[in-house]
Amino acid sequence: YAVCMPMSYDEGWTYLNFSSKSFLASVAYYPAPNNHILYSILTNISVIFPVDVLLAIRLPSMLINILSVFLAYTFIKEFFNKQIALIATSIFSICFMTIYYGYMARGYSLVVLCFIAAMHAAYKITVANRKIYWLYFSIANVIGLYTMPSFLYPFVTVNLFLLIRLGRIIFN
């Protein structure tokens, strides 16, 4: 899909307003609320590569999607078992939105990655409340919120999960 699907309106808009301009434009220029800041920064780097423009702006999304599937497998395997992790990530990897965000040159794949990383850290915090897991949790949330403002929804969800789980641990 990354090679044969035509460029969408949002991808073209991202390229024209951010990827084809300077790094500073991606960081500081915020013309619309649906701007995917961190993804635009990554495309500023990928368009330097000597490949087709469409592939160059989709490259970060493809790599991030592969990393998301790997992180999901690692997370599920750690808290459940290898068979459940294999089944869950097999289903996750063939879902329409995973495939679509896996090549679409927008920041949604980063949101998925940050959500999985934050959830993984939250689970680790509930098992062993160590500072390194809080750091991991904070970094995942900051990157997610820097990617796009609508990461607020996964951010609230993961924090509610953490609040409920830690509340049970503290009050029991």
CA 71 to CA 119: how far, in whole Å? Answer: 11
| pLDDT higher than 60, residue 114 | yes
Q: Tokens in use for 78?
A: 């750690």
pLDDT one-digit tens code per residue, 33-63 = 777 889 999 999 999 989 888 899 999 999 9
Output the pTM of the full model.
0.90
Mean pLDDT value across residues 137-143 = 97
pLDDT digits (tens, 9 = 90+) for 144-167: 999 988 899 999 999 999 999 888
Q: Is 166 exposed, middle or buried (0-12, 13-18, 19+ CB in 10 A)?
A: middle
